[in-house]
Structure 1
Amino acid sequence: MDQIQAMRIFARVVESGTFTLAADSLQLPKGTVTKHVQALEDRLKVKLLNRTTRRVTVTTDGAAYYDRAVRVLADFDDLEASMSQVRATPRGRLRVDVGSSIARLLIIPHLAEFQARYPDIQIDLGVSDRPVDLIGDNVDCVIRGGELTDQSLVARRVGNLEFITVASPEYLKRHGTPTHPRELEKGHNSVLYFARVSARPYPLEFQKEGELIEISAPSTITVNESNAYTSVLLAGHGIGQITTFQAQPHLERGELVRIIPDWAQLPLPIYVVYPPNSHLSAKVRAFVDWVVELFAGDPLLQRQ
């Protein structure tokens, strides 16, 4: 029995949910798929799958084996991809984690281009604003804003995020348009962003000619996800700060209005980050180069 082939077949059965779908996707006879899974169970002396007439489910031992098998197969694919003959066509499964607004506005709309260029790379796309442990979570690379704190990781700067202060026209009609940050302390409501770990809200920051003003109150709504944060502003709940990248389509449609334009935050650098052991991975290199190209093509992500 080809153990690697058997592991691939077992993983595909788990992912597809039936032997028939797994056989179709692998372009193998159903009998061959069944035979390999049975041989794998005989070799391991454990039951990996519960079979019914319509569907298969994973046993506890099968779930544990699947998790380890996926990692082994990924490492095996990386080993093959490191060979010069495969370097031109990277392949394998790539686990990526991206902030929600970047995912929605930039990565996902262009994924078809990446897949057309690299058809043998399969992407598992994690989307959230929470910090990710690349090693512990078995993630190949992440795209995140902010200065890199873990010096053991490899980081490539791909752009900058410029923040501006905005509110909806309806909110400004009800409360008036402030012209100075201090006016937000009375008669206005700030929409703040809070950290997932500490739940501490980040203040609105305003900088001008070396002066820094932080506004943290009053605030009736705090949010911990960037797309939801924008939605709260669009709904007229207060004044907040989002990136020009997020704000631009809403500004053009008149759904948001920029205010206090002569006060701004410092740009936030964006990095694509990956563990040092992924440095030679052809699939990671392909994705990183594509991300650099993608960010470079958007002037809103390159402002200094």
Structure 2
Amino acid sequence: MKDSAIDRLGEIQLFCAAAKAQSFTGAAAAAGVTPSAISKAVGRLENRLGLLLFHRTTRAVRLTDDGLVYYDACRLALDNIQETEHSLTAHGQPRGELKISVPPSYGIKHIVPLIPQYVERYDGKVEVAVSLSNAVADFATQDFDMTIRLGQVADSRLVGRLLNNAQLRVVASPEYLRHHPAPARPEALRDHVCLGLVMPDSGRPLPWSFAEEAKTAYEIPVRPAMTFDHPFATLACAINGGGVTQLFDFTVEDDLRDGRLVEVLAPFRPLPQPIFAVYPTNRHLSAKVRTFVDFLLERQRALGRVA
């Protein structure tokens, strides 16, 4: 039988199911077909393209580099078709699962509390799945619809909409400062117990950033006496007199306001960093992403947090 565009679309859907599940058996269960049907569909695609899309072993399948590029393009195309169908039949109302990745402390403080309002606004037609992680999300392999990122978005395949700005602050507890005079300059941190935050992408503690008169940015190398891979763990140690640390204002603002922490080196704060809602560049932006980003901006303005 001659291959048709409809046959190819079905093959692409089965290929995407296999790529997402990383298993022909798992994809077959999700698609309601046999593992043999998945294998044959992938084989026909590979023959037509002249490319190997999967590395196959007896236990698992894994996308090749070419397969990853093809999956990224196919997934976006299928998402666009699905979202266009939804927008045409539901007058642009969002529905389905919205998968987002957010930094832990910013997410818990400023994103998670807003999600019930968003879900209620659209009568529960959107199911929101949140992943809390400091790792940079990979849209091609992790199947996120959007992320929240600190810092500029340099990837031309991504769109970034500014939510607000974040300010790094150096803090310590009043108890710690009773026994250790507050540093007058960043260089004096070498005489203090410093608490480091380790980022998962590098496995190394973040350098501490400063600026003279909010203009000339520079970094100070510190030798942390203790390191943590989560901002709230670093925060808990600082609150309990463990030492001095540098964290973003959204992590420490409540504790500064309530007196559990004191800011030091305030004249040397670095320049603020932008916080963006980030999503892939698509010709047709999904209703669930569009409405959620608009909702976040609306709530940021209402709370006075817009940059």
Question: Normalized against structure 2, the TM-score is what?
Answer: 0.70
Match of 1:292 among 283, 290, 297: 297
Structure 1 residue aligned with 2:111? 107
Match of 1:263 among 240, 265, 268: 268
Alpha-carbon separation, structure 2, partners of 1:233 and 1:97: 26
1:254 aligns with 2:259: yes
**Cα 1:296–1:223 shift into 2, 3 Å:** farther
Alpha-carbon separation, structure 1, partners of 2:35 and 2:104: 43
Structure 2 residue aligned with 1:138? 143
Alpha-carbon separation, structure 1, partners of 2:279 and 2:234: 27
User: How far is the alpha carbon of 1:91 from its aligned partner?
Assistant: 0.9
Contiguous gaps of at least 5 residues in structure 1 = 1-37, 47-59, 62-67
The count of aligned residue pairs is: 245
**CA displacement, residues 90-123 of structure 1 (integer Å, 9 cap, x when unaligned):** 1111111111112111111121110111221111
**Cα 1:166–1:151 shift into 2, 3 Å:** same
Instruction: Indicate conservation of the 8 Å contact 1:135/1:275, yes or no.
Output: no
User: How far is the alpha carbon of 1:245 from its aligned partner?
Assistant: 2.3
Structure 2 residue aligned with 1:244? 249
Structure 2 residue aligned with 1:117? 121
- Which deviates more from structure 2 when the two are superposed, residues 275-284 or residues 143-152? 275-284
Instruction: Indicate conservation of the 8 Å contact 1:98/1:125, yes or no.
Output: yes
Alpha-carbon separation, structure 1, partners of 2:211 and 2:275: 20
Name the amino acid aligned to 1:265: P
User: How far is the alpha carbon of 1:73 from its aligned partner?
Assistant: 9.4
Alpha-carbon separation, structure 1, partners of 2:284 and 2:268: 40
Name the amino acid aligned to 2:94: P
1:94 aligns with 2:92: no
For the residue of structure 1 that corresponds to 2:234, the secondary structure is: helix
Structure 1 residue aligned with 2:224? 219
Detail structure 1 runs of 4+ shifted over 6 Å in the superposition: 71-76
Alpha-carbon separation, structure 2, partners of 1:218 and 1:96: 34
1:79 aligns with 2:76: no
Match of 1:272 among 245, 257, 277: 277
Instruction: Indicate conservation of the 8 Å contact 2:102/2:133, yes or no.
Output: yes
Instruction: Indicate conservation of the 8 Å contact 1:203/1:216, yes or no.
Output: yes
User: How far is the alpha carbon of 1:165 from its aligned partner?
Assistant: 1.4
**CA displacement, residues 64-102 of structure 1 (integer Å, 9 cap, x when unaligned):** xxxx9xx8996765232231x413421111111111112
**Cα 1:279–1:270 shift into 2, 3 Å:** farther
**Cα 1:253–1:90 shift into 2, 3 Å:** same
1:199 aligns with 2:203: yes
For the residue of structure 2 that corresponds to 1:262, the secondary structure is: helix
User: How far is the alpha carbon of 1:242 from its aligned partner?
Assistant: 1.9
**Cα 1:204–1:237 shift into 2, 3 Å:** same
Name the amino acid aligned to 1:204: W
Match of 2:155 among 128, 143, 150: 150
- Which deviates more from structure 2 when the two are superposed, residues 208-217 or residues 130-139? 208-217
**CA displacement, residues 16-70 of structure 1 (integer Å, 9 cap, x when unaligned):** xxxxxxxxxxxxxxxxxxxxxx9x86x6488xxxxxxxxxxxxx99xxxxxx9xx
User: How far is the alpha carbon of 1:247 from its aligned partner?
Assistant: 1.8
User: How far is the alpha carbon of 1:145 from its aligned partner?
Assistant: 0.5
Instruction: Indicate conservation of the 8 Å contact 2:197/2:206, yes or no.
Output: yes
Instruction: Indicate conservation of the 8 Å contact 1:129/1:226, yes or no.
Output: no
Alpha-carbon separation, structure 1, partners of 2:262 and 2:272: 20
Alpha-carbon separation, structure 2, partners of 1:121 and 1:229: 34
For the residue of structure 1 that corresponds to 2:251, the secondary structure is: helix
Instruction: Indicate conservation of the 8 Å contact 1:166/1:258, yes or no.
Output: yes
Name the amino acid aligned to 1:197: D
**Cα 1:98–1:212 shift into 2, 3 Å:** closer
User: How far is the alpha carbon of 1:258 from its aligned partner?
Assistant: 1.0
Instruction: Indicate conservation of the 8 Å contact 2:217/2:270, yes or no.
Output: no
RMSD: 3.1
Give the percent of matched residue pairs that are identical in Structure 1 and Structure 2: 31
Instruction: Indicate conservation of the 8 Å contact 2:297/2:306, yes or no.
Output: no
Question: Normalized against structure 1, the TM-score is what?
Answer: 0.71
